[in-house]
Amino acid sequence: KSIRAKLVEREEKEKEKLAMLTISQQELESMTPLDKKQMVNRFRKDMRTASRDLNFERAAELRDLIAKITQES
């Protein structure tokens, strides 16, 4: 594959991942404190990985989700 094709494919995968990260208010309210804590820990790990990979848009999305989850706790 060409470099451009690989980059386009990677970008599409990242968009899919970001789309999966949305959490509805109803889902958030139905989560236990332990579930929220586990989700925040996973998102923090993913955020660090995204930052390390220079994918700052994904890191920012994860940061915003973490803030949303922790505000509801």
For residues 15, 38, 59, 68, the Cα torsion angle rounded to the nearest 10 degrees is 90
Tell me how far CA of residue 54 lies from CA of 18, 67, 73, in angstroms: 15, 21, 30
Note whether 60 and 46 are within 8 A (CB): no
Task: State residue 7's pLDDT score.
Answer: 86
pLDDT higher than threshold 70 for residue 73: no
Q: pLDDT tens for residues 24-60? A: 778 888 889 999 999 899 999 999 998 998 989 889 9
